[in-house]
Amino acid sequence: MSAYYTIAVDVMGGDFGPRITIPATIDALKRYPHLSVKLVGHQEAITPLLTQLSSEVACRLDVVHAAETISMCAKPSLTIRNGQESSMFKSLQLVADKQAQACVSAGNTGALMVLGRYILRTLPNVDRPAITSTVPTTDGHCHMLDLGANVDCSAEHLLQFAIMGSVMVQAVDGIAEPRVGLLNIGEEEVKGNEQVKLASRLIEEKGGLNYIGYIEGDDLYKGKADVVVCDGFVGNIALKSSEGLARLISHKFQSSFKKGLYRRVLALLASPILSEIKQQLDPSRRNGASLLGLQGIVIKSHGAANEQCFGYALDQAVAEVEQNLPSKICDEIEHKLA
Amino acid sequence: MSAYYTIAVDVMGGDFGPRITIPATIDALKRYPHLSVKLVGHQEAITPLLTQLSSEVACRLDVVHAAETISMCAKPSLTIRNGQESSMFKSLQLVADKQAQACVSAGNTGALMVLGRYILRTLPNVDRPAITSTVPTTDGHCHMLDLGANVDCSAEHLLQFAIMGSVMVQAVDGIAEPRVGLLNIGEEEVKGNEQVKLASRLIEEKGGLNYIGYIEGDDLYKGKADVVVCDGFVGNIALKSSEGLARLISHKFQSSFKKGLYRRVLALLASPILSEIKQQLDPSRRNGASLLGLQGIVIKSHGAANEQCFGYALDQAVAEVEQNLPSKICDEIEHKLA
């Protein structure tokens, strides 16, 4: 079977590197018969992990040697000059050179943003790319953007995020008219800072979207909107605070269920239910944040992703390739903002 | 026994009004022998609730008639002109007139901010008051400010919040050198928006505090800091998002434990543990947000507070009165910023 599309995988990124990213990629090749991949990283680290492959998989797999790896603590702005031999740089370059349709990396987020923007460039009429990911809701999930790529956003940027997020949900989730909400500290028209108030007017006037107005922090998880727009500073803090409280709850559970034999037995009996809930809410199950607004598909995996989670990031890349997402965003942004 | 200090209680505020606020206040009078209160509200709504009081309690209790009540949906800025006959306005006026040392209200937060600032004025060298409340941590709680009073803050405002929060924790929690953290999207010096970076330098140079630098959203609940400083937009969204996720977790629990008889029995057995955890994390147990930076003590109770929770807000007022918090803040701000 011949491959129809190619994904460049930065196999060196993340906390575990090739021993996680390569098995996950091989597994994806089995799941997607039309997929071929370029494994980008140090040849010596990759080759030992490519044994016992079926010829059907092996023929859709290519190694691109990169001598260096961008460390998780590298200063993003310096990677343009210093990172050219890195697996991340070369993975993105493959997308720019049209040798791959998407790039997936679990490496340094800041570096991926900076290099993504430098190598792939933003789409016409898009000032800045945004990071988007899903958050769980009562009956599914919603997409939130920006999650930290842009710490100071103008109202115009928020408008662009709203359009990009809406196109993404249409394409990937198949929702015809995604409900778009703007994160604010109240639902009333008078609430919020100047930037958010102005953004609300802009989205209403120019967005041509199913805009439902302001939504508050606690609405995020209620499923009121399919797309939630905010600046990267607020989005990052909202998401991380929530995760922090979830961890505190889990910690309180663990210590409460350890007080005495009766409680330990109860914990044992309840454990299948607890893991069921945990799985429903687990951020790693929603692994695969998209960098929207670039002239190419870039997916960021959690650095700590295990094999299964890295697989979800690959799934996201495949979904966006199949939908040709950047071209859809480009058309929509041009139609509305050019 | 003679009373040493007086609290003005806006009995009309909140979702339930006098039938919650008055029993809670009577209970506080029993707990605090040096407390006297002024019940501010409609005489006709108050009198029927003051039966069967012991003379020891009755003699420390005074009714101040106010014909009107500010509604929860009133536009805050209009209350200065239209709210002068309201229970909230009159409660604050009692503090301004030195007839009470603190005011407690469960009414409209925005109105309480606007009227508090108008009637009591800010302390010298304080540009804006801030709302502060506690959030639970692994081993206790921390104080967070601002939680929504100020949607656009300059670095100077954040510096003032840091000093005020630190003084409060010293006075009320008895911690000699509270650890002060600044909420940001990363811990590294380069991260964050311009306002936060500048605030960090200012706090370091002028704060004279035990400043521990940036803390991230997920650190909020880890107990890394005793005081967490942020602008009101970010603080409000961080807190509400967290509460939203906590509610989602609780919802998932309820539905997971209802699937079949076995799970229902398990839920019954585990219910004491679940309510124990819930109690530890319950925001209403931490009821009583302080408006810091005013020339007087103003405590905001949740609108939905029950009798016990409104009691916590009264406890907070008593603690701040006993410490003479505004004068301590005034001294410290003058010492550092004048």
Look at A185 and B75 and tell me if their CB atoms are within 8 Å: no
The answer to whether A185 contacts B269, with C-beta atoms less than 8 Å apart, is: no
Looking at residue B138, what is its pLDDT? 86
User: Which residues are bridge partners to A29 per DSSP?
Assistant: none
Across the interface, whether the CB atoms of B193 and A152 are under 8 A apart is answered yes
Residue of A nearest to B137 (CA): A248
- Please provide the distance, in angstroms rounded to a whole number, between the alpha carbons at the two ends of chain B: 41
- Judge contact between A3 and A36, C-beta under 8 A: yes
Does the distance separating the beta carbons of B75 and A233 come in below 8 Å? Answer: no
What counts of helices (H) and strands (E) characterise chain B?
Answer: 12, 11
Question: pLDDT (tens digit, 9 = 90+) per residue, B80-111?
Answer: 999 999 999 999 999 999 999 999 999 999 89
Contact B218 A244 (CB under 8 A): yes
- Kindly report the average pLDDT of chain B as a whole number: 91
Q: Are strands B5-10 and B210-215 parallel, antiparallel or unpaired?
A: unpaired
Say what the pLDDT of residue A1 is: 46
Q: Is the pLDDT of residue B281 over 80?
A: no
Mark out the alpha helices in A169-209 (DSSP H runs): 194-202
Measured in degrees and rounded to the nearest 5, phi and psi for residue A168 equal -60, -45
Strand, coil or helix: A187: coil
Cβ atoms within 10 Å of A144's Cβ, excluding its own: 27
* Partner residue facing B241 (CB), from A148, A238, A276: A238
Which residues lie closer than 8 Å to A76 by C-beta, 6 or more apart?
A108, A110, A111, A113, A114
Type of residue at B34: H
Which distant-in-sequence residues (6+ apart) come within 8 Å of A236 by Cβ? Answer: A147, A148, B185, B217
CA distance A76 to chain B (A): 10
- The closest alpha carbon to B37, from B48, B24, B20, B49, belongs to B24
Q: What is the pLDDT of residue B190?
A: 67
**Among A263-277, B88-102, B134-148, where is mean pLDDT lowest?**
A263-277
* Residues of chain A contacting residue B183, judged by C-beta atoms under 8 Å apart: 237
Give yes or no for a contact between A122 and A293, defined as CB atoms under 8 angstroms apart. Answer: yes
d(CA B264, CA B276): 18
Residue-wise pLDDT for A231-245, tens only, equals 999 999 998 998 888
CA distance A244 to chain B (A): 4
Joined together, the tokens standing for residue B121 give 């004025």
Contact between B246 and A243 using a beta-carbon 8 Å cutoff? no
The alpha carbon of residue B154 is apart from the nearest alpha carbon of chain A, in Å, by: 13
Q: Which residue of B has its CA nearest to A193?
A: B151
Strand ranges (E), chain B: 5-10, 35-41, 61-65, 102-105, 130-137, 140-145, 179-183, 210-215, 227-229, 289-292, 297-300
Angle, helices A232-256/A261-281, rounded to nearest 10 degrees: 160
* Residue B208 Ramachandran class (φ > 0 left, ψ -120 to 50 alpha, else beta): left
Chain B residue numbers touching A214 (CB-CB < 8 A): none
Shortest alpha-carbon distance between residue A46 and chain B (Å): 32
- Does the pLDDT of residue B270 top 60, yes or no? yes
Q: Would you say the C-alpha torsion B302, B304, B309, B314 has a positive or negative sign?
A: positive
Structure tokens at A29: 């090749």
Distance CA A142, CA A246 (A): 18
ipTM above 0.90?
no
Calpha distance A35→B233 (Å, rounded): 44
Strands A130-137 and A140-145: antiparallel
Average pLDDT, chain A: 91
Residue ranges of domains in chain A, CATH in brackets: 1-126+293-326 (3.40.718.10), 132-283 (3.40.718.10)
Q: What are residue B8's phi and psi, to 5 degrees?
A: -90, 125
pLDDT band of B64, cuts 50, 70, 90: very high
Handedness of CA A169, B250, B280, A269 (dihedral sign): negative
Instruction: State whether B216 and A138 contact (CB < 8 Å).
Output: no
Judge if the upstream peptide bond of residue B146 is cis by omega within 30 degrees of 0: yes
Selected for mutation to probe chain A from B150, B194, B197, B242 (highest A CB count within 10 Å) is: B242
Q: Are B46 and B76 in contact (CB under 8 A)?
A: no
* Mean pLDDT (whole number) for B170-177: 94
Tell me the per-residue pLDDT of A286-332, one tens digit each, with 9 for 90 and over: 788 999 999 999 999 988 889 999 999 999 999 999 999 999 999 99
- Residue A186: what pLDDT? 77
B281 contacts in A (CB within 8 Å)?
248-249, 252
CB pairs under 8 A between A and B: 159
* Run of H or E including A10: strand A5-10
Residue A27 has pLDDT above 80, yes or no: yes
Return the pLDDT at B1: 46
Closest chain A residue by Cα to residue B150: A193
Contact B273 A263 (CB under 8 A): yes
Distance between CA B102 and CA B36 in Å, rounded?
11
Report the distance separating Cα B113 and Cα B128, nearest Å.
10
Q: Which of A13-27, A41-55, A175-189, B281-295 has the lowest mean pLDDT?
A: B281-295
Give the Cα separation of A327 and A338 in Å (integer): 15
Structure tokens at A72: 């998780």
The confidence score (pLDDT) of residue B97 equals: 97
Conformational region of residue A192, where left means phi above 0, alpha means psi within -120 to 50, and beta covers everything else: left
| Residue A51: both structure tokens together | 């044994």
Name which of A151, A241, A273 is nearest B192 (Cβ-Cβ): A151
To the nearest whole Å, the CA of A246 is away from the closest chain B CA by 7
Give chain B positions within 8 Å (CB) of A236.
185, 217
Q: Does the pLDDT value for residue B302 go beyond 50?
A: yes
DSSP assignment, residue A287? -
Please answer whether residues A180 and A207 qualify as being in contact, where contact means their C-beta atoms are separated by less than 8 angstroms: yes
Cβ neighbours for B55, distance < 8 A, ≥ 6 positions apart = none
What are the chain A neighbours of B230 within 8 Å (beta carbons)? 237
Residues 6+ apart with CB under 8 A from B254: none
Residue A126 pLDDT > 70:
yes
pLDDT of residue B273: 78
Q: Contact, A65 vs A102, CB < 8 A?
A: no
**A193, A222, A248, A276: which to substitute to probe chain B, counting the most B Cβ within 10 Å?**
A248
Strands (E) located in A111-202:
130-137, 140-145, 179-183
Q: Hunting for tokens 């501010």 — which residue is that?
A: B40
In contact, B18 and B45? CB cutoff 8 Å: yes
Preferred mutation among A245, A262, A266, A285 to probe B, highest tally of B CBs within 10 A: A245
- Which residues in chain B are contacts of A128 at CB distance < 8 A? none
- Judge if the upstream peptide bond of residue B315 is cis by omega within 30 degrees of 0: no
Q: Which residues of B touch A72 (CB under 8 A)?
A: none
**Number of residues written out for chain B:** 338
What distance separates the 2 farthest-apart alpha carbons in chain B? 67
Q: What is the least distance, in Å, from the CA of A334 to any CA of chain B?
A: 29
CA distance B151 to chain A (A): 5
Q: pLDDT tens digit string along A30-68?
A: 999 999 999 999 999 999 999 889 999 999 999 999 999
pLDDT value, residue A3? 62
Which DSSP helix (H) or strand (E) runs through A6?
strand A5-10
Nearest beta carbon to residue A75 from set B190, B222, B230 = B190
What is the distance between the alpha carbons of residues A289 and A130, in angstroms, rounded to a whole number?
10
Q: From the list B234, B246, B270, which residue is nearest A249 (CB)?
A: B246
Residues of B whose CB is below 8 A from A245: 220-221, 242-243, 245-246
Facing B241 at nearest CB: one of A136, A193, A218:
A218
Q: Is residue A2 predicted with pLDDT exceeding 80? A: no
> Pick from A152, A217, A273: which is nearest to B236 by CB?
A217
Chain A: closest CA distance from residue B78 (Å) = 13
B239 neighbors B231 (Cβ within 8 angstroms): no
Of B232, B244, B257, the CB nearest to A217: B244
A328 vs A74, residue with greater confidence: A328
Lowest mean pLDDT among A103-117, A236-250, A258-272, B3-17: A258-272
Q: Which of A6-20, A262-276, B175-189, B273-287 has the lowest mean pLDDT?
A: B273-287
Using a CB-CB distance cutoff of 8 angstroms, which residues of chain A are in contact with residue B75? 190
Give how far B224 is from chain A: nearest CA, Å: 12
Which residue would you say has higher pLDDT here, A192 or B112?
A: B112
- Check pLDDT > 50 for residue A190: yes
Q: How far apart are CA A68 and CA B68, in angstroms?
A: 72
- Tell me how far apart the alpha carbons of residues B118 and B93 are, in angstroms, rounded to a whole number: 10
Question: Nearest CA of chain A to the CA of B104: how many Å?
Answer: 23
pLDDT in tens, A93-105: 999 999 999 999 9
For the segment B1-6, the average pLDDT, to the nearest whole number, is 74
Are A237 and B185 in contact by the 8 Å Cβ rule? The answer is: yes
